[in-house]
Amino acid sequence: EAGVVQSPRYKIIEKKQPVAFWCNPISGHNTLYWYLQNLGQGPELLIRYENEEAVDDSQLPKDRFSAERLKGVDSTLKIQPAELGDSAVYLCASSPRTGIDEQFFGPGTRLTVL
Amino acid sequence: QKEVEQNSGPLSVPEGAIASLNCTYSDRGSQSFFWYRQYSGKSPELIMSIYSNGDKEDGRFTAQLNKASQYVSLLIRDSQPSDSATYLCAVNPQAGTALIFGKGTTLSVSS
């Protein structure tokens, strides 16, 4: 079974530029999460999707971050404009369905904002 | 504010010893508990899940849960240098919601 796929793996941009991250969850997994992980910290939730519906986006900085999960499969997370403090690893995770709490992470995208 | 606390370490143990990693959580109603292993530069990898009080064993790993004390631990027997990593404790305060992670404990196993 293929795992969670993310791209790109690394991204370097200058501040104020836009950036987008893509995630393809494990086949058949209805729940998708985007987490942010800073160095020395645990992952922190940005947004959670049940199928195509964003059911928890309370931690997403909506002034600059947006996300979508069209058709309830792939998801894209966008930052516009990026700030220096956005430098971090952006992790996508998925779980089979609501109520199944085990989450499986993709390799992450390491973002550096200069 | 729901919190998960871990000692950041580093925890250093010799090869073959038992490594004991501890975690406390603030939400008494939490239902499920997980341990993830994260190698440097890699993403978290699920190694153990536990849902009820007591011990759960899987190979060299044993997870222990005490809901009354709001405490969960991970024991690694016969530690190997390949076990050197950061171990993240994660708690789900409510079924179907996102995990709350601790900051992780760095384990170093010396040969």
pLDDT at position A77 is 98
Q: Nearest chain B Cα to A42, which residue? A: B103
In chain B, the residue whose alpha carbon lies closest to the alpha carbon of A31 is B96
CA distance A10 to A49: 24
* Percent of chain B whose predicted confidence (pLDDT) is above 70: 99
∠ at Cα A35 (A6, B7), nearest 5°?
Answer: 120
CA dist., res. B70 & res. A45, Å (int) = 22
* Positions in chain A whose pLDDT score sits under 50: none
pLDDT at B95 over 80: no
Report B:36-95 residues touching A (Cβ under 8 A): 36, 42-46, 49, 88, 90, 92, 95
Using CA atoms, how far apart are residues A62 and A96, in angstroms rounded to an integer?
27
Cβ-based contacts of A43 with chain B (< 8 Å): 44, 88, 99, 101
pLDDT for A100 equals: 64
Surface-to-core class of residue B54, CB atoms within 10 Å of its CB (0-12 exposed, 13-18 middle, 19+ buried): exposed
pLDDT > 70? residue B22? yes
Per-residue pLDDT, B93: 84
- Would you say B30 and B92 are in contact if contact means Cβ atoms under 8 Å apart? yes
